[in-house]
Structure 1
Amino acid sequence: MRIEQVKSVTMTCLTAAWGMLLCLTPAVADQAADKQAADEQAIREAVAAYVAAYNRGDAAAVAAMWSPDAVYTNPLSGEQVVGREAVEKQFATIFSESKGAKLIAETNSVQFVSPNVAIEKGTATVQQGDDLADATEYSAVYIKRDGKWLLDRVTETDPPPGDSPGAEQLKQLDWMIGLWVDADQQATVTTKCQWTKNHNFMLRMFSVAAEDQVDFAGLQIIGWDPAKQQIRSWVFDSDGGFGTGEWTQKGDAWHIKATGTAADGSKSSAVNILSYLDPNTFTWQSVNRVVAGELLPNVDEVVVRRQDSQP
């Protein structure tokens, strides 16, 4: 056979082969896409099952979702353990120390490194009682064994504080973060202040108790109003009242022009003054108080002290 004939036959065969391949490629691609979609769904279902087992406090069920030689790092202590048995012991300890803790997890993405290895990225929050914990970002490596997707290791990181104008402005009030108490013979006022994710807002939860019985409670949200270029607050109380405040700094003191609406519809206004003394102490007073059109006496300055270690 002449060389030209060999080339012709070869090209004909190659053309036929590529034609067959091109005909098969869409079907093969569809099958691969369907398989990957099924695997992604399986991983998302594994995340939901993990959350359910965690919220039941079932250490054995949680450990069963890790691979036999998985490496688990305790996000609080940094301690690392290897293997399901060790993972189960870790979670048994965690559940005994934080009874009633609830896990909330949200998957943001699933990427496949290979047919049997995937990386799931998301955010997780552990809530203890009424405490609102900041979300952490995590990256979880899943491996497929015997047709089942199992956790191999998880890396958690706290999200950095936001660089938004709101987060930047609220840095002036970071001394308020923590647990504070003002008490006398008649009542005890307890205030707990914490950041929301990315430090764009502050949450202040307060309660007023007399003889160990909570008579009044509420929530205050503090944030930056970009339209007014001012720190503002919104408060909601257990009686059904609500109000707003406009914050103005004067030296080490903050003057808060507050207006409110009580549950019965009556209006109120006042100027509340917070004065920073040191990391563990501030004072509070209220002046120019008007309720339902009636001028009320000022509230004398009281000293409020920190009850936890300085954050």
Structure 2
Amino acid sequence: GRIDQIRLIKSDVAAVEGETSVGAPGESPSVSVFSALLVLDNGRWTIHSIEESAAPNPVQVGEALRGLEWLVGRWVDETEATRVDTTVRWSSNGAFLIRSFAVRKDDNVTQQGTQIIGWDPRSREIRSWSFNSDGSFGDGVWSKNGDDWLIRSSQTLADGRAATGTYVLTRVDENAMQLKLIGHEIEGEPQPASPTVKVVRATEPAKNETPSTSSK
């Protein structure tokens, strides 16, 4: 078993979360998650209460990403200065979502990047890893919050500085979504708030893409 989190509620009360595994030799272990409340009594921590339940586990690889399947396709967000073309597709084995993007200014590509979104069976959460053409890279942890997806992001910039922030991804409808970065910091210094970006599903061919004229 393992302890994932210890949270001090009061000086003499703590909440502990983790998982346990039980199984006979040669058999697959049964994994459960637990939440326990501990109290400090005469200098020793004792269990006051504990709750245990079966650990959530996707039936098959990629199943945990089904809630993000609507991202698959081509998207575009455009301002007076720049245009961002984004393509999201499933990996060949269906275990990951792969997001590729290109930033254009005056029809010239100024930046490109790739993001891989997958399920982490160890931490039991959706995670992403991003790599950009300027040498920057980062990772994120995804969680559902009502109708929004929150992406807690940590990034190493091209100049070596560390950046953090949370992206709020909201699905407006089948053909539109909104993205906003909040709590953005670089080397611990708060950055100005960024405006909400509206992204729409693309209907025209991507830049440098020629429509097919062949019959099917």
TM-score (norm: length of structure 1) = 0.46
Q: Which has the larger radius of gyration?
A: 1
Secondary structure of 1:228's aligned partner: coil
Question: CA-to-partner distance for each residue in 1:178-204, whole Å, 9 max, x for gaps?
Answer: 000000101111110000023110000
Matching residue's letter, 1:285: K
Distance in 1, Cα, partners of 2:79 & 2:62:
35
Distance in 2, Cα, partners of 1:291 & 1:207:
23
Q: Paired residue for 1:273, among 150, 159, 168? A: 168
Q: Paired residue for 1:198, among 93, 96, 105? A: 93
Q: Paired residue for 1:291, among 160, 176, 186? A: 186
Shift of residue 292, structure 1, vs aligned partner: 2.6
Secondary structure of 1:171's aligned partner: helix
Shift of residue 172, structure 1, vs aligned partner: 0.3
Partner of 2:198: 303
Partner of 2:148: 253
Shift of residue 166, structure 1, vs aligned partner: 3.7
Secondary structure of 1:300's aligned partner: coil
Distance in 1, Cα, partners of 2:64 & 2:202:
25
Distance in 1, Cα, partners of 2:191 & 2:151:
17
Task: Please list every run of 5 or more consecutive structure 1 residues that lacks an aligned counterpart in the other structure.
Answer: 1-162
Question: CA-to-partner distance for each residue in 1:261-297, whole Å, 9 max, x for gaps?
Answer: 0122110001001101111110000010011332101
Matching residue's letter, 2:97: M
Alignment RMSD: 1.5
Task: Please list every run of 5 or more consecutive structure 2 residues that lacks an aligned counterpart in the other structure.
Answer: 1-57, 205-216
Partner of 1:189: 84
Residue pairs, 1:80-159, within 5 angstroms: none
Partner of 1:213: 108
Secondary structure of 2:141's aligned partner: strand
TM-score (norm: length of structure 2) = 0.65
- Higher RCO (Cα < 8 Å, 6 or more apart): 2
Q: Paired residue for 2:74, among 163, 166, 179? A: 179
Structure with greater strand percent:
2
Question: CA-to-partner distance for each residue in 1:62-120, whole Å, 9 max, x for gaps?
Answer: xxxxxxxxxxxxxxxxxxxxxxxxxxxxxxxxxxxxxxxxxxxxxxxxxxxxxxxxxxx
Which of structure 1's runs of 4+ aligned residues deviate more than 6 A?
none
Secondary structure of 2:62's aligned partner: helix
